[in-house]
Amino acid sequence: MCINRVPGRRKKRPPRIGRSRGGVSTKIHAVVDARGNPVRGLLTAGQVHDVTQAEPLLENLPIQQVVADKGYDSPQLIDGIHARHGQANIPARAGNHYPREFDAHEYQARNLVERFFNRIKHFRRIATRYEKLDVRYVAMLSIALALIWLA
């Protein structure tokens, strides 16, 4: 018999990041350098849109060129990159009424980000999200990022 528990009351669940019908979900947002090493990362709930985290990721970073996918197609983000004297190489979304030019050859550098996320998936604890608390998940993610830097 448990002394701490009041009969008939459920134990409170630990706080989780994102919750949907499919279960717990999270997104890892990351900035990588020209070698594919992580520079900065954020963790958000799975339902949060990617472009909302772009400004906090790029804040106080010296940028020359930003290569991102269509999820980051936002006039505010692109204007912010140009204001910092950087070049935005982001393709326009299909429904965009004002398509922009982008360099397809330089866009191939985005594979560094994809390869980085594939390296993260090698850490089983990160890929399957065993931790229930976001603080613990961020701690395990930090360890994985440090190990990637050391490799």
At 83-132, the pLDDT tens digits run 999 999 999 888 878 778 889 999 999 999 999 999 999 999 888 888 87
- Is residue 45 within 8 A of residue 26, CB to CB? The reply is yes
Which DSSP category does 95 fall into?
Answer: T
- How far apart CA 12 and CA 97 sit, in angstroms, is 48
The pTM of the full predicted model, rounded to 2 decimals, is 0.79
